[in-house]
Amino acid sequence: MTFQRARNDEQRQIRINQITTAMIELMEDLPFDKITMKKLGEKLSFTRNNLYQYVKSKNEVILLIIQQDFVEWANTLHDNLQPLKTPTLSAFCKVWVQAAVKYPRILHWFPLLGELIEKDVTLEKLIPFKKSYFKILEAVKKDIIKVLPKLDSAQAERLVYFHLRVLPHLFHLYNESTIQKEAIKQAGYSGPQGSFEEQAEIEMQIYVNGLYNTDLEINE
């Protein structure tokens, strides 16, 4: 791949897609802390100056990747929830978790956004990310309320936060490194049981029941 200056918005988006794809490929082979802008540029055959025309740091690339994944996750969730007219709670949670595991980068990176990623990006990149996030949040809330009409807007928003703040911690428990697993074993703990999907569905059902704070009028 050789660098060619983007001359319009369409070409610029093509360059952005090339950059995010290259970063995803690098992360398959290297830990994130070993990836540099130099390595990213070399993979793309971009000079550092050419690369900086589109992103100023590797954290900006992560921000772009998460933004893309978040849009795709919301669309997948929307499509999968549509057939659920009067779902059981377990059916709703199963569909939700199935969409979650399809986009593991959200579960991995979202908890790190505020403390790590967003602190090393430009305002130019952060503003469109925030606009996209809040737009998607409103759309997902509407999808939730259509399926679970007893939830109000604030409760639906808390359910999205459950996905972004609680499920990632559970996800990491089931995706620990070999060293982490050995440390847990040596500490005398057996580790999590079952699969992430099974446990996530259980945790979601408990959480939704808590949001209702009453008996659910959903057939089990």
Write down the domain spans for the chain.
Answer: 1-54, 58-212
Q: Where are the alpha helices (DSSP H) in the chain?
A: 9-29, 37-44, 48-52, 58-81, 89-102, 104-109, 123-147, 153-161, 167-173, 178-186, 196-212
Q: Report the chain's terminal Cα–Cα distance, integer Å.
A: 55
pTM: 0.86
What pLDDT does residue 7 have? Answer: 63
What pLDDT does residue 190 have? Answer: 82
Range among 11-15, 102-106, 112-116 rated most confident = 102-106
What pLDDT does residue 130 have? Answer: 96
Q: Give dist(CA 125, CA 122) in Å, integer.
A: 5
| Cα–Cα nearest to 156, from 207, 202, 203, 113 | 207
Q: Give dist(CA 176, CA 185) in Å, integer.
A: 12
Q: Do domains 1-54 and 58-212 have the same CATH topology?
A: no
CATH class of 1-54: mainly alpha
Q: Is the pLDDT of residue 175 over 80?
A: yes
Task: Say if residues 201 and 90 touch (Cβ distance below 8 Å).
Answer: yes
Q: pLDDT band at residue 220, thresholds of 50, 70 and 90? A: very low
**DSSP label of 45:** T
Which of 35-44, 79-88, 174-183 shows the lowest mean pLDDT across its residues?
Answer: 79-88
CATH class of 58-212: mainly alpha
* Residue 104: C-alpha distances to residues 98, 171, 183 (Å): 11, 8, 24
SS3 content of the chain, % helix, strand, coil (to 5): 75, 0, 25
Backbone conformation region of residue 177, classed left if phi is above 0, alpha if psi is from -120 to 50, else beta: beta
E runs forming strands in the chain: none
Q: Is the pLDDT of residue 67 over 70?
A: yes
Q: pLDDT band at residue 26, thresholds of 50, 70 and 90? A: very high
